[in-house]
Structure 1
Amino acid sequence: MPSDANNFEGAYLLSDLIGGKARLGGKAIGKLADVIVAEQGKLPEVTHLLIDRPFGYKSLMVPWDKVERLGANGRADLSIAALEPYEGEPADGQICLRDHLLDKKVLDSDDDEVEVVYDIKLAARYGRLFVTDVDCSRAGFLRRIGLRKLANFIRSIAAKIDDDTIPWTYVQQLPQNMGGFNGNVKLNVLKEKLPDIHPVDLADILEELEHDQRMAIFNQLDTEHASDTLEEVEPRVQRDLVSSLTIERVTELVNEMTPGQAADILAELPASQSDAILDKIEAPEAMKVRSLIENHEDQVLFFATAHYITFPPQTTVREVMIKFRTAAKDADVVMYIYVTDPNGVLLGVVDIKELLQATLTDTLDRIMTANVVSLDENDTVAEASKLFARYSFRAIPIVGEGNVMKGAIPYRDIMQLDHRFV
């Protein structure tokens, strides 16, 4: 083991370690590419660090007892006499945390629950380093996509952001032959975490599963979560799911959707099944859905959603971050922040990516796009389709007289119906 246990901090995140500089004699020789562990007890123990070197040089497999110091930022000071004896790659049976576990699916013992591994937590004890938790939290996701500062900020205002971690003691032992590892991390836990998975993430995973696994997971979702997830999956999987549900259950899911989303789902079904579902939906909504499927000359406002996010121009980015989760809970358009005055006049729009990249003290009127592409309340669905095709927006605001915002039309409500416009 390392000679001085005090040279190791108490806790680490894999995302912080990866990419850290490896040094020998005070000179950088490469970067930490992966952490190798072995399951020899209750917790996997780190056995090697994999060090990538500059182009033309072989990677190094450095045993943990040759690591003199490891910083939380991944900086590793090595204690080896020469590099050549340690040149090599991980063997087939060795577990590489980054390569084998990051971004992989997590299933419970019944294959009925899914999470995604965004990060891995490690802890140093008496000079040895162990894996302690699988991190499936939103903060872990943000760190994984490079938004570390935002992850830290959100954690500072919402302590529960890190609750979504799974102790390694709940993880079933990984296969000895990692070359045949299928990427599913299996747990000895039940389904209590399933409702926390974002519909977009869940849709991606459902698309990869077999029918029985897919239905087992989908049937555990509450109506709102199932409806949101159904909207996100590709048409092939939509048909597979809907065809296996009762008409009553599909009706519940459709009632949670906008007319455009409902039309997109029902258009994939046989006419008899679609009609049976529409007969159970409230008449005004059913009329909108039928019209969207059959008639593209109706006014776009007829199919718009009133569930979008608005803030006044002087709102700071910090205030939006704090209030966003509540504001987005029932919104159909969440990727844009619409900036409006007290009379509802549309002043500008802020893409969520721009918001995440802005300074917390910036106000929306400083970062918004004032020249907003919008639809008039009298424009038709066909005209909306052309505008989406031209600009590739994810939603377009609809305005009336005096540029007062009347609604918004999501991309998927129009463009996924485009094949029915001809």
Structure 2
Amino acid sequence: MFYLTELINLPLRGGDGHRYGNVRELVVEPEADDNLVRRVIYRHNGNLWEVPLRLLGLDLEGMTVEMRQVSPVPMEINSGHLLLRHDVLDQQIIDVNGRRVVRVNDIGMDLREKDGSYELRAQQVDIGVSGALRRLLQGAVPRAWLKGASEWPNSRPIPWRAFDLVETDPARRIRLQITYRALGRLHPADAADIMEELAPAGRDAVFGSLDHEVAADILGEVTPKLQRSLIEGLESDHAADIIEEMEPDEAADVLADLPAEQSEEILREMEAPEREDVADLLEYPEDTAGGRMTTEFIAVPESATAAAAIAATRAFEGPISGVTTIFLLNDEGQLSGAVPVSRILLAAPSNLLQDMADEAIAVERERAEADVAELFNKYNLLALPVVDDQRRVLGVVTADDVISWLSED
């Protein structure tokens, strides 16, 4: 394997032995092939030139290329070209497997024979000490000695396809085919940690490029301060698309922390059902049961069977991971009981829910969040319904919600 630092400044020669200059840059064209070096840029008499790369030979003494059928041209900036030295070295990248943000110290290159010539491909990036030392010592020690640095124990390679390059220019990000799909496959908490590690410009660029649902999941995990920063960097319609994908209580918390004018503008851009749910929650002080509840829960008539409860769960469009309890309503729509989902799953389909229900412990919407947390601790609750004066269910506070706001303190 060769490293980019070993190749920069190598003599560039034609097949006839004529020296054209010194290698200054290697170019990948992601639209054609995401890691194949297709062009080489070299310096001659103070000017930069480029030629398509048809590689005839490569060692630490120089790079030999086919020049008979091409003519060097002055280097031109092309937004669809990835310049390995300029665009990757020293840049922040998202290490998807390691769930972190790191800086590139070097790039490992693989040389393969093909059809009478050679292909040069970027295979990995080195984020370890060995890569940093190769660059630091370049030109100060013999190249053959630097070659041994690839064997040093502190080499920390990341495969070429296992990271995302942070590109702040939207047009160039598209041309370079940087999609951040891999980031979306991480757990939202891990992705949120990565967002917090990025520099502000890179953070805004990455977040603005994510799928709306992925962005919503990440937004629910980052700190309130970072939530504000990310949303303030978006157009109102884009922010609305993301917030619509959040749970209503989380969406309300985000909007409550924004300036009133911006919050109202985003609300206007949201679809009517989501807008109404979030607007209702914004009416409650944040530190009350009403301000902490979500309006997404499952409630069925108290005369329903276990089979009906399972059917209601399957039809539920909210976050199913938070559904731990089914609430029972009497003929007047008032809360009359609660049944853990685990109990329903173990019951015969024809069993009546009211026969297996627990007493429904509930809290009024005006109660302070400290009282809510005390009820969770006292009764070992997984979910606590929030009711109005007529004991009609307005929403539910979940154990996850309690853990989340307690961790803020």
Same fold (TM over 0.5): no
**Greater C-alpha Rg:** 2
Q: TM-score range by the shorter chain?
A: 0.3 to 0.5
